[in-house]
Amino acid sequence: MIIATAGHVDHGKTSLLHALTGTNADRLPEEKRRGMTLDLGYAFLACANGARIGFVDVPGHERFLSNMLAGVGGLDHALLVVACDDGVMAQTREHLAILRLAGVPSLSVALSKSDLAMPARLSALQAEIEALCAAHQLPLAAVLPVSSHSGAGIDALRGHLASLQPAPHAPHKRFRLAIDRAFTIKGSGLVVSGTALSGSVSVGDSLYLSADKRRVRVRALHAQGQACGSALAGERIALNLAGDISKDDIRRGDWLLSQEGYSSTRISVQLELLPDSAPLKHWQAVHIHHGARHTTGHLALLGDDSLTPCAELALDTPLYLADNDRLIVRDASARHTLAGARVLDLSPPTRAKRSATRLAQLSALSQAGQDDSRCLQVLAAAGRVDLDAFAWARQRSDDARALAGQLQLVNIGALAYSAGYWQGLKHTLLQRLTELHLAQPDQMGAARSRLKRLALPSEDSTAVMHAIDQLLQAGLLCETRGWLHLPQHSLAFTPAEDALWQRIAMHLAGDDARWVRDLAQDAGSDEDSVRPLLKKAARLGHVIAIVPDRYYPSTRIHEMAHIVRQLVAEHGFADAASFRNRIGAGRKLAIQILEFFDKSGLTRRQGDRHLLRDGTQFG
């Protein structure tokens, strides 16, 4: 169990911890000289029932509030210290607001220096604190008068804290620890400490350091101040790390992760405002605190609901966030706390962010909370879900594919779709192909890559190919010589056209491209009859026009496409000179053929080079 102290400067937090645990949490020489907590301090209390309570002593002075914010993540309880002589002060209220916004489950209050107060003063102060906690909607476990000087009330407070139950944590999820301190010990090496937000860790485990995704190994560890072989979420943990790493490689706010994670620069959140918060402004500059890390950014408002507004945070520095993580948002001067934020979506859309559909989705994600199944259903209903990114966002120890199967989602590799959205994708493919047939009745259809670009340009290619295969298997789509078309879309020669075609075909047997006028003359016909016949022959797949009125047999186009693929395999590209030499044609004709391949989707032009785009074309 982890408890953080909170309260105004000089109200006796560190002295109270010393009286409770026998440990002076002020570890820095400057802290001892000034008698003021400047950074986080730590102490542990062994309870009679065998449990150990870890205390995080946070600074009370306004100037060190950023250090205070680094110590309030992953808490089970908070101990607010209020001096009887001063009463409730500015930082008392500030800390109380931060504890609420950080999601601390419950609170106890110690009335320090009680030996200096009369009973009437104690009663009045207790009533004021109860009203203040009620206004902040913080469950108040107890208000106990104590004196670190005389020892009065210390045993009662110690017994009360020992009776508290720790908040539920998530030991089955991925291990994630926010580093708030790094130091070296002679003979042992590098040690980092922090609060584990989820998962478990054991000696010998391999972990990722978020700073540079470097692998480190756990050589030894302490949990709640004692050496042990493993530790769980909800404990103060110190890890002795082995690997190519030094203290200078680690900063406060870095993470130790059991699996490689994703950092975010733009997130959707649900804001929690304080009763006396100033109105928020769109694109307001803010400071954001998460775990033990602090960064700056901008706040983009998405809705008008003043009770549970949704917003987007654009972060100047990427943060390693997960769904439902708590953040504290402060103003640009870092002097006033504006709101708390709960992470709803780590990958917000780039468009239609304020649409009714998107706001409804954010509301559904908020209601889903810790329910992974419901969250996945909400996301899949709006589009594809990257299951690897989802597993990170929910800190699942598995890859979420089993969950997608249980929900009967369409699973394509690492992507998942709802059944309704998947059907919509297939309908879009059929609809776009119908439009293409109407616009280009003289064309057989579209190659797979072209249909993907026309119908679903932003969709995953593997998923689109899978949808096409399903449509083919269902008989809703046909594929003829590599061209996709609707079943009712077909072409055939009439007897008269077939007779003329037989006369023309014998003059197309060579390797040279033939013009319509030359073929008409060779076949003893006129251009007006040959031209539409050749267009129809092209739709049937017999010939292909590289430019208007100039045709090759389809077999020759396939041969030249193979030559292009060979050149790309050998050199990484094809160009006019190398292609001309391979086919034995002039430069102008070689350029015309390469430009045809660009238009058809086999290649794409980059300067004078032609790079392979869709190697299945003319295969």
Please write the tens of the pLDDT for every residue from 143-153: 999 998 899 99
Query: Strand 326-331 and strand 293-301: pairing?
Result: unpaired
Residue 366 has pLDDT above 70, yes or no: yes
Give the pLDDT confidence of 159-199 residue by residue, as tens digits.
999 998 887 777 789 999 989 888 898 888 999 988 888 99
- Name 490's Cβ contacts closer than 8 Å, sequence gap at least 6: none
Instruction: Give dist(CA 58, CA 91) in Å, integer.
Output: 12
Return d(Cα 39, Cα 63) in angstroms, integer: 11
DSSP single-letter state for residue 79: E
Confidence at residue 59, expressed as pLDDT on a 0 to 100 scale: 66
Asked if residue 261 lies in contact with residue 323, where contact means CB atoms within 8 angstroms, the answer is: no
Please report the pLDDT score of residue 200 as a whole number: 93
Which residue carries 């699973």 as its tokens?
Answer: 411
Compute the average pLDDT of residues 437-465.
91
Question: Which string of DSSP letters, residue by residue, matches 543-574?
Answer: EEEEETTEEEEHHHHHHHHHHHHHHHHHHSSB
Task: State how far the Cα of 455 lies from the Cα of 160, in Å rounded to an integer.
Answer: 65
The tens digit of pLDDT for each residue in 60-80 reads 444 435 554 554 566 788 899
For residue 305, name the pLDDT band (cuts at 50, 70, 90).
Answer: low
Return the domain boundaries, the chain. Answer: 2-163, 176-257, 420-485, 491-619
d(Cα 20, Cα 158) in Å, to the nearest integer?
6
CA dihedral 541, 547, 551, 557 (to 10 degrees): -60
Determine how β-strand 140-145 pairs with β-strand 107-112: parallel
At 456, give phi and psi (nearest 5°). -135, 65
| 26-40, 229-243, 302-316, 398-412: the lowest-pLDDT one | 26-40
Q: Considering the chain, what is the average pLDDT of its residues?
A: 88
Strand-pair partners of 435: none
Q: What is the pLDDT of residue 26?
A: 54
Give the integer Cα–Cα distance in Å for 264 and 123: 48
Token pair of 476, please? 């809703």
**Interacting residues of 194 by C-beta distance below 8 A, sequence separation 6+:** 177, 178, 179, 180, 181, 236, 237, 256, 292
The encoded tokens of residue 176 equal 């994630």
- Each residue of 105-139: pLDDT tens digit? 889 999 999 988 899 999 999 999 999 999 888 89
Dist CA 426 CA 88 (whole Å) = 64
- The rounded percent of the chain whose pLDDT value lies above 90 is 58
CATH class of 176-257: mainly beta
On whether the CB atoms of residues 1 and 164 are closer than 8 A, the answer is yes
Answer yes or no: CATH 3.90.190.10 is held by domain 420-485.
no
CATH fold of 2-163, please?
Answer: Rossmann fold (3.40.50)
- Rounded CA separation 331/131 (Å): 27
**Terminal alpha carbon distance of the chain:** 65
CA atoms within 13 A on the CB side of 581: 5
Measure the CA–CA gap between 547 and 227, rounded to whole angstroms: 79
DSSP-derived letter for residue 277 is: P
Domains 420-485 and 491-619 share a fold: yes
CATH 1.10.10.10 fits 491-619, yes or no: yes
| Chain CA centroid to CA 238, Å | 28
Sign of the Cα pseudo-torsion (84, 88, 89, 95, in order): positive
